[in-house]
Each structure stands twice: as structure tokens, then as C-alpha cells.
Amino acid sequence: MNTLGYLAHRLVWFWHHNEWPRVIDHIDMNRSNNRIENLRACEKVQNLWNVGPNRDNSSGYKGVSFHKDTGRWQARIHCRGVSHHLGLFDTTEEAHKAYVASSIKLHGEFSRFSPAGTSGARGQRQK
């Protein structure tokens, strides 16, 4: 090896697969968990899907925000540069259900739909 610095997860991947993928995703979102079982090669956009709710999230659910004009909860999801409006709902839970269904359909194994503050749990996809 040369004197360049390498990130631990990239070295683990190389040792197991003998290749350098452009992007490696930590399945459980824990950047310190570099076990090979927790790593997967992916596209950059897929890696971005596997993130939790924004820090400033007020609803407690990823993809759910308050729609001031209607006083209802709005669910939205983004996939490959397209924003999908999933509807307006009376409760955050209803909006979250719409987001979960759409996330599984659009993001597949990279879907992340946990409520804020739940350590990155993946709902029924958690192992």
C-alpha cells in the first residue's frame, strides 16, 4: 500500500472483496461498525436514502412535516431527483404510514423510515 490514508470501512471491504467501490454504505448507520456484514456497495443516491430524519424534524418522522396552509401533516419522499407528494393527513402517524409504504417501494433495501430518536431502527426491516 502507499502512504495515502484509507477509511477503515473501505479497507475492510477491500480485504473481503478485493475491489474499491465508489460508495460503501453502513447498513445500521453506525460509522464505527465496520464489520463486513454491516457494509454494502451502493450508489451515492442509495447511501443518501439510508439516513435518519433531519435534526430539525418537528414531526418525529422522516418525510413528514406540518403543512401550515391546511393545518394537516404532509408526507413527501424523494427518489432520484423527483419529489413525490404522498398526501395530507390528520395525524403524523397516518402520514408516516404513507411514507413507509412509499419508502419500501421506491428505496427497497435502502429504505430508512424510523421515528426520530430511535437509534436508526428500520421498522420491520430491522434485524
SS3 of the chain: CCCCCCCHHHHHHHHHHCCCCCEEEECCCCCCCCCHHHEEEECHHHHHHCCCCCCCCCCCECCEEEECCCCEEEEEEEECCEEEEEEEECCHHHHHHHHHHHHHHHHHHHCCCCECCCCCCCHHHCC
pLDDT over 80 (residue 44): yes
pLDDT at 69 over 60: yes
Task: Examine the pLDDT at 127 and tell me if it is beyond 80.
Answer: no
Q: Where in the chain is the domain with CATH 3.30.730.10?
A: 45-127
pTM score: 0.77
Greatest mean pLDDT among 15-19, 50-54, 109-113 lies in: 15-19
In this prediction, residue 119 carries a pLDDT of 43
How large is the average pLDDT for residues 59-80? Answer: 95
Second-level CATH architecture of 45-127? 2-Layer Sandwich (3.30)
In this predicted structure, what is the pLDDT of residue 57?
86
